[in-house]
Structure 1
Amino acid sequence: MALTDDAVDRIRQMIITGEVRPGDRLPPEKELAARLGLSRNSLREAVRALTMLRVLETRRGDGTYVTSLNPELLLGTMSMVVDLHQDSTIRHFLEVRRLLEPEATAMAALHVGADRLAKLAALLAEAAQLTAARPVDRAALRANGEDFHRLIAHASGNPVLATIVETVSGKTLRAQAWCGMTDESDLHLTLTEHQAIYEALAAGDTYRARIRAAAHVAGIEDAVLTVR
């Protein structure tokens, strides 16, 4: 493991120093191993690890390339970490979401724009129909809610913040939150809270956007902890 860690660090240094840049192809394995003073096995392990982290991309028959290193791409690997935490530490991720999502929503109030507002309004209309239907299609309603929150996070204008907010919610947490909504009244409350967030965004009211989002996220946290 120590040799692999050393190999990972050396490739990382090549990227940091600009020796290789986003989109560049790494030298052939034999040449790169000799340049870095590594065994080919250690180099392969390092490439495999960095590929899983989306720092490198191996193209069959063409070689290994540095990815775009886009923060959204790299931070996306955090979602697996969130989904794998099934014990009390899940509270830590919930706390991070509680801290960040209201601020992202407040920022969105300043940058949301007419196009995103129209998409949010369409999602709310769809959610209203799904909530009123019998039986309720919870999978569709959950997907609608995910789209609603994702759109707001990206409307913040900060792609790093948006990716972190989206990631710390995690697929597992989102599924657990919807499992915690056992009554019809819970579904109507979610719709009402989404509507309140939308109205704050439409008014460009950062204060109300922050408060509405904070109250909504607190409810999500309660729902998740209820089913644990």
Structure 2
Amino acid sequence: MSDSSFGPIKKQTLLVEEITSRILSLIKERELSPGDRLPPERELAVMLNVSRASLREALRALFAMNILEMRQGDGTYVTSLEPQQLVQHLEFVFSLDDSTFIQLFEARKIVEVGIVALAAQRITDSQITLLEEKLQLAERSLHDPEAFLNADLELHKIIIEAARNPILDRFMSSISQLGLASRSRTVNIPGILIETIEDHKAIVEAIKQHDPDAASRAMLIHLNHVEDRLSNLSVSEQIQAPDSET
């Protein structure tokens, strides 16, 4: 990265947004990489031809997005840019609005149904063994929601890894991170753990048979089951809410 990368910014009304956009562009264009240190604030303000106050405001926005981080006594750095880190600030938004859970399941249906088809074609024998172990662990954890949730997450993670597509892997990492809130809610719904076990058995069996179509159907059925349970839970909570206020 050269000093010219931080050329002067033309004065305009949305100065802070322009500073933010410039830094994001440098990251997208690989002129700034994860772990890179930005020039000191005074130098950076001169390079961009902006006030330090405007620069600080733009940096604060990038800190909030987990794109930049301040290391005490050392300066400002680009974060690791891992998907789990970048979506952290969205988790709170998801916790406020039930409609976002439905949108999340729409995304999962599009992505995971395709991923499981790839996994069925590319999975190794050792990964099949791991899937079966996680399935057995989940069955032993029916009375321990937290342990069941961990086994569920690991099972889906193995499927994603078996697809052997780094782009889909990173995409699903973001979706999975956002989905933790919905998983934490649904895991306590009566009867859902047993239903999930049966769904997972169908998914794993299709994968073992290296049948992508059957695996996709089984995954879609599973996601529909969970989505229906979550929708019913939301309706039930809305009905009960007025009573809780009296």
Q: TM-score over 0.5 for the alignment? A: yes
Contact 1:104/1:153 (8 A) holds in 2: yes
* Letter paired with 1:177: T
* Letter paired with 2:185: Q
* Alignment root-mean-square deviation, CA: 2.5
Q: What corresponds to 1:140 in structure 2?
A: 147
Q: Which runs of 5+ in 2 are unaligned?
A: 1-12, 235-246
What's the CA shift for 1:213?
A: 0.6
Q: What corresponds to 1:176 in structure 2?
A: 185
Which of the residues 154, 161, 164 maps onto 2:161? 154
How many pairs align?
Answer: 220
In 2: Cα distance, 1:103 partner to 1:165 partner: 11
Contact 2:66/2:86 (8 A) holds in 1: no
What's the CA shift for 1:54?
A: 3.0
Which of the residues 98, 113, 118 maps onto 2:129? 118
Q: Which runs of 5+ in 1 are unaligned?
A: none
Contact 1:51/1:57 (8 A) holds in 2: yes
Structure 1 pair 218–17 and aligned structure 2 pair: CA distance change class (3 A): closer
Structure 1 stretch displaced more, 53-62 or 161-170: 161-170
Q: What corresponds to 1:104 in structure 2?
A: 115
In 1: Cα distance, 2:134 partner to 2:199 partner: 13
Structure 1 stretch displaced more, 87-96 or 12-21: 12-21
- What is the TM-score of this pair, normalised by structure 1? 0.84
Structure 1 pair 102–81 and aligned structure 2 pair: CA distance change class (3 A): farther
In 2: Cα distance, 1:188 partner to 1:15 partner: 45
Q: What corresponds to 2:195 in structure 1?
A: 189
* Higher RCO (CA < 8 A, seq sep 6+): 1
Q: Percent of pairs identical after alignment?
A: 35
- What is the TM-score of this pair, normalised by structure 2? 0.78
Q: Deviations over 1:177-205 (max 9, x none)?
A: 2233x13xx43221121112112222221
Structure 1 pair 27–75 and aligned structure 2 pair: CA distance change class (3 A): closer
